[in-house]
Structure 1
Amino acid sequence: MSLVAGRGPLSTDPAGWFTPPLPEVVYVEPHPRRVQGLRDGRAVIDTERVLLVHRPGHPLSYAFPADQVGDLPHEPVSEAPGFVRVPWDAVDTWLEEGRRLVHYPPNPYHRVDCRPTNRRLRVTVADTTLVDTADTVVVFETAVQTRLYVDPVHVRTDLLQRSDTTSYCNYKGYATYWSAVIGGEVVDDVAWSYDDPPPETLPIKGFFSFDTERADVAAELPEPDR
């Protein structure tokens, strides 16, 4: 996602600019990692000859040598003769070097930096303050909005209850969502946290971040330079 989506350099809304401007391009590169596709517990793809295809307006995708996909559905990749794309749902499970993937391949250009900071975060719901602290962690994530996370010791967790909502990020893991229960009012999914993030995002393990559309969030964040 980082090169061609969000505000990546090859997206339709890049954070920066090229001089002179670039035409729309598709970027294809070798990806020297072992990728496996499992169906019914059996590997139907198992190869280290993998390409990554960064195509504007499309999710990042793998391309495999045509002779290694067997009878799986596939379509040719015009920018990489002899290679084909296999739909993500053509197999039950994708693995990259043993790590289970969800939704899309991890992007080598996607970076997540978690930094302790004194940027203030104040969150209110239904005129009740849930957070008001400058002891936060700022998370800079490539092509994604910068966010503040906060240790639960600074959160009115007595006013939060776990919801049934969940989501997955290849860079932060499975998210647990939390609803605010204040008096007789319930505001669904005002916050989320990651209980078991991968090593690169361990600094925010168990920390909360808040949805700016569901709560009144005042976060001291860098101003985007348009």
Structure 2
Amino acid sequence: MREYRHTPVYYFPREDVRMDLAARTESETYCPFKGKASYWTLNVGDQTSEDVIWSYETPYDEALEIKDYVAFYWNKMDRWFEEEEEIFVHARDPHVRIDALKSSRSVRIVHKGVTLADTNRPVLLFQTGLHTRDYITAEDVMMDNLVPSSSETSCPYKGTAGYWSMQSGDELIKDLVWSYPDPLPECGAIKGMLCFYDDKVDQVFIDGAPLS
């Protein structure tokens, strides 16, 4: 199911779910668009996950398609798969497209008068609903200005990213730069390349013009 400003949610036919491992609870929530949701606790072996399953048993007319279907809280499950491929973070939205395109445009990143990156061979990443990101090869980045961070984030479309912070005198700009060392196949062109948060630096120049 896709809902405005929500990540997609998988609903499964109740008859295809091991409801013999679930116990109904007294918990309820209300959605103005779908109705009242009931909840179940899941018991598998010696592990119990409370209120991990929900269902709209008598949904409103506009949500009748999910009647007799159940959903699971993503983060309370061990692993998720689409076909034979493991997926992460949340269900992928079929309306989101990712394109990673090699470019010859000039990209220069400047902070406090110091050029942090300068390239004419970026990879531009276009993702539905987000602004274009410029990924830069490490050879064109002043890596001496960056210190590795322990932070990590995951994206269902790109993979898991590692981060670098920048130390400038007494100022530490935390997690200024990120990179996908082993991106998902759709984004293989950005492997090992670095990307800066535009709003954390003073200036970004694209083909010599400041980014507005």
**TM-score range with shorter-chain normalisation?**
0.7 to 0.9
Q: Does 1:74 align with 2:54?
A: yes
Q: Is the 8 A contact 1:210 1:217 kept in 2?
A: no
Contact preservation (8 Å) 1:191, 1:209: yes
Structure 2 residue 118 is the aligned partner of structure 1 residue 170: no
Displacement, 1:79?
3.2
Specify the structure having the higher radius of gyration (Cα).
Answer: 2
Out of 52, 57, 79, the residue aligned to residue 5 of structure 2 is 57
Range with greater deviation from structure 2 (192-201 or 61-70): 61-70
- When the two structures are aligned, how many residues end up with a matched partner? 169
Shift of 1:192: 0.6
| Paired residues of 2:108 and 2:206 also in contact (CA < 8 A) | no
Structure 2 stretches of 5 or more lacking a match? 23-41, 43-52, 208-212
Residue 139 of structure 2 aligns to a residue in which SS?
A: helix
In structure 2, how many angstroms separate the alpha carbons of the residues matched to 1:219 and 1:75? 50
Name the aligned partner's letter for residue 56 of structure 1.
Y
Question: CA RMSD, aligned part only?
Answer: 1.9
Indicate the residue corresponding to 1:45 in structure 2.
none
Match of 1:125 in 2: 111
Q: Distance in 2 between matches of 1:200 and 1:192?
A: 18
Partner residue, 1:83: 69
Identity across aligned pairs (percent)? 32
Distance 1:178 1:200 in 2: 24
Q: Given the alignment of the two structures, is residue 135 of structure 1 paired with residue 83 of structure 2, yes or no? A: no
Question: What runs of 5+ residues in structure 1 fail to find an aligned partner?
Answer: 1-52, 222-226
Aligned-partner Cα distance in 2 for 1:58–1:113: 22
**Mapped contact 2:149–2:165 kept (Cα < 8 A):** yes
Map of 1:92 onto structure 2: 78
Normalised TM-score (structure 1): 0.68
C-alpha contact (below 8 Å) 2:7/2:93 kept by paired residues = no
User: Which has a greater percent of helix?
Assistant: 2
Cα distance in 1 for residues equivalent to 2:69 and 2:205:
46
Say whether the 8 Å CA contact 1:189–1:214 is kept in structure 2: no
* Change in 2 beyond 3 A, CA 1:185/1:56: closer
